[in-house]
């Protein structure tokens, strides 16, 4: 049976993501861990994360998760980032007065702003919380059996703007257009929470567990 390491760096509850993985593939070995050996020997790696980026990055560096992530990505095994685990792969976030991130992808994490408005001039609440439509911008094995424009569950106040447009795998609109999925080789990362996005979210996790890491 295959194994997946869900990297635990102490930020947020990993119960849901672990349970969701077990739900879509009964028998899969889910390792909620920060132990480098456990991560290294897993078939797949998932980087989750909630909360403030400064605290997340501090723990990622303190526990050596940065090296684990780099190694996992370089190894070619399927890698999935979720929410702050997606933002952390960018170069820089403007949250907490500016925080340097892992720089696996060129791009920035920006604040939605205090006076965000929709196209009709209606004020939009921040955080962006709830179910919004995700528009796929490239074919990818992780989108298998997921309809374009499906709604996924989001909760975040900062959004990713990637620099390499050809790597963007999906976009969303909330006052601004932003990038909610990115893909390169064996890496896929998303802003929304597949583990909280009911059928479409479980489908994406299933696709990840079936993926061989080839685009």
Partner 1 sequence: MALAKRIIPCLDVENGRVVKGVKFLDIRDAGDPVEVAKRYDEQGADEITFLDITATHEGRDTMVHTVEKMASQVFIPLTVGGGIRTCEDIRTMLNAGADKVSINSAAVKNPDFVREAAERFGSQCIVVAIDAKKVSQPGEPDKWEIFTHGGRKPTGLDAVEWAKKMVELGAGEILLTSMDQDGVKSGYDIGVTRAISEAVHVPVIASGGVGNLDHLVEGCIEGKADAVLAASIFHFNEYSIPQAKEYMRERGIEVRL
The set of catalytic residues is 83, 193, 195
Please give the full DSSP string across 41-96, using - where no structure is assigned.
T-SEEEE---S-HHHHHHHHHHTTHHHHHHHHHHHT--EEEETHHHHTTSSEE-GG
Q: Yes or no: say if 85 and 131 are a contact pair by the CB < 8 Å rule.
A: no
Binding mask 31-60 for partner 1 (x = CB under 8 A): -------------------xxx--------
Contacts of 167 (CB under 8 A, 6+ apart): 105, 182, 183, 184
Residue of 142, 195, 208, 211 that binds partner 1 (CB under 8 A): 195
| Cα 54 to chain centroid, rounded | 17
Should residue 26 be labelled a site residue for partner 1 when binding is judged by CB under 8 A?
no
140, 195, 171, 53 alpha-carbon torsion, rounded to 10°: -120
Choose between 92 and 153: whose C-beta lies nearer to partner 1. 153
Should residue 12 be labelled a site residue for partner 1 when binding is judged by CB under 8 A?
yes
* Minimum CB distance to partner 1, residue 127 (Å): 6
Tokens of 72: 């996992």
Residue numbers 127-186 binding partner 1 by CB under 8 A: 127-133, 149, 151, 153, 155-156, 173-174
The footprint of partner 1 (CB under 8 A) covers 12-13, 15-16, 19-20, 22-23, 50-52, 114, 118, 124-133, 149, 151, 153, 155-156, 173-174, 195-198, 201-202
């Amino acid at each position: 049976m295959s194994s997946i390491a869900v990297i635990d760096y102490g930020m947020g509850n990993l119960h849901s993501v672990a349970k969701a993985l077990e739900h879509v593939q009964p028998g899969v070995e889910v390792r909620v861990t920060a132990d480098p050996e456990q991560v290294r020997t897993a078939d797949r790696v998932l980087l989750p994360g909630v909360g403030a980026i400064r605290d997340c990055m501090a723990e990622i560096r303190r526990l050596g998760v940065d090296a684990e992530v780099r190694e996992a990505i370089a190894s070619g095994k399927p890698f999935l980032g979720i929410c702050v685990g997606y933002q952390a792969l960018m170069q820089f976030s403007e949250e907490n007065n500016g925080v340097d991130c892992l720089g696996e992808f060129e791009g920035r994490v920006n604040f939605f702003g205090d006076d965000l408005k929709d196209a009709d001039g209606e004020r939009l609440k921040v955080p962006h919380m709830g179910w919004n439509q995700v528009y796929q911008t490239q074919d990818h094995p992780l989108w298998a059996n997921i309809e374009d424009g499906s709604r996924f569950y989001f909760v975040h106040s900062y959004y990713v703007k990637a620099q390499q447009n050809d790597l963007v795998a999906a976009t969303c609109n909330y006052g601004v257009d932003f990038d909610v999925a990115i893909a390169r080789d064996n890496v896929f990362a998303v802003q929304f929470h597949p583990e909280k996005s009911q059928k479409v979210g479980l489908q994406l996790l299933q696709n990840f567990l079936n993926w061989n890491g080839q685009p």
